[in-house]
Structure 1
Amino acid sequence: MSVAGVTPDALLAQALAFREQGDWAQALAALTRANIQRPSADVQQQLIDWRIEAGRSMPAPPESAPPVTAPLGAVGSVGIPEIAPSELSAARVREAVYSSGALIVRGLLEPPTVETLRQQIERVVGARENPDVFPPVEPQAAWYVRSPEAWGAPSQFFRRPGQTVESSSIWVADSPRMACELLALYESLGLPALLASYFGEPARLSVKKWVLRKMAPKKNGNAGWHQDGRFLGEDIRSLNLWLALSDCGGDAPAPGMDLLVDGPREIHPTGTDGAWFDWTVGPERVARLATEASIVQPRFAPGDALLFDQYSLHRTALEDHHSAVRYAIEAWFFAASTAPARQQPLFI
């Protein structure tokens, strides 16, 4: 018998009934409670399948403009604003993004949570790369299973010349166990409510841009300056939550990010001004932009968070002293009414 006399089997029956009625919110709530009471790889897989299906089938709410607030400082200020978790609100995020392009939240995650997430990323990587020699810790833990509702390229594994550590980039939705863990974490942080306030409507999470990252330094490589709006589109409203799980950036041994501290929300031309690729902003243009706005490389401690939207111009930092692997989790959220279908919106 479970809490309040509702058994996991009864919750599963309720979830199916709500799903048949088209009430995805209630169906997912019941299914989540069932998984909490009796964790199961099958239910975790079902939760991801249903969230993708709900994101695809639920009608989007009418588009609404978020409230406008005065910026924290002048456009193109010298640094990215930083706040404590207790100060985090939709208004603070909006003010920072529209004045400087991003916001840093110091210590958003506690050290034990960071360590757990790093270990779980290793389990997901192992389950994908070497399933025979890296069995799940728990028999029922679905560490890597591709959802039949997801489409697109699978996880990436690659080793560059001279590297002894492989870099990995894995969709969170391909790990039902990890996805359930992260969705519970986001809920505990109050993220769904903050996003609804920020967008002025419910948020959706991108299947294709919700990623676990284990990144080795790019020795003798390059990382192009880019804006995610170049891929996602301009007619959207988005917010990326980038969680640092390593000491990275600045003088740290692991690579961080270079960012242009800039308030105007516009997409810059790509493939010109000495750009290496057709999707990157050329270094000559970046140099011109840097005469009016600062370029910064913040140092992130494990558990720090960076928030920015599709207009933020940034790149992975490349420094000679980088020698350590960087662990991070990236999650792109969209206002439901503008969520691009090609990004496979997932209901949260």
Structure 2
Amino acid sequence: MTRNGIHHVTAIAGPTYRNLEFYGGILGLRLVKKTVNFDDPGTYHFYYGDEVGSPGSILTFFPWEHVAPGRLGIGETQETVFRIPAQSLGYWTHRLIAHGVRHEAPEKRFGETVLPFRDPDGMRLALAAVPGIGDEAAWTDGDIPAEHAIRGFHGVSLLLKEEGATGTILTDVLGFTRIGQEGTVVRFKAEGASIGGIVDIRVAGGFLPARMGAGSVHHVAFRAADDAAQAEMVEKLARNHGIRTTEQKDRNYFRSVYFREPGGVLFEIATDEPGFAVDEPVTTLGQSLKLPDFLEPRRDEIEAVLPQVA
């Protein structure tokens, strides 16, 4: 089965409490998994999304208490964009103002109204007002009415020196089609993707290179339905583009391979399987610290060094 689009976006954040308050409280996303960075288990790994953490709704963070700010530059994801119902733009404008969230004036992009804003670490975010999605299912467990709740990702924008080689990988390997251009921004859309279906490439020439830190996107993950689909994409990357991925890594909730695309952005290909309910019921997702089997014997040690969160 072919499933295209963005699986998740992973970013770097500052203090844990601030990250939880912003994404769970102000944006109203569900914390679907509280675990650790499998490669650095003294650091949390938070996963936010819709009710079940559907591919295309998942924004994840590595929060470090004292991380230095990042610097936007070439070879980085410039902006992560969520979908909201078109009629909810006014609601969200007022909500951002009420919570003191840095934001810009709404603007038009490819015929859509978009509201850009920043999180407390300076991460560039936006809300795209999308017609006709008001009846889609939405997660709500707070003060945001269901009719205004976020409906997963709209897409991401990449800040690159040039479009060519990256665009070819998007179309040849990752299931996207080049659908238009406005100025220096080229838009790609994943066929059949209702959420997480947009990648914009902003061509910026010889701009400064990116520097990772708080507010930076670490990587963008793209969907593969299963191991077989992922293996096919890996083979095509090597055969058609001379790019080798890492070996497959088991992330408990999906299985991943990673590669650096020609523009410098770290890409991941993640399986839709098995999902976030593999180690806890949907009703209690994100409520307790979950560790992979190989880290479970170190639970007491890990919990002792992690910041305390509710």
Q: Which has the higher strand share?
A: 2
The TM-score range, normalised by the shorter chain, is under 0.3
TM-score, with length taken from structure 2: 0.24
TM-score, with length taken from structure 1: 0.22
Q: Which has the higher helix share?
A: 1
Which structure is larger by alpha-carbon Rg, 1 or 2? 1
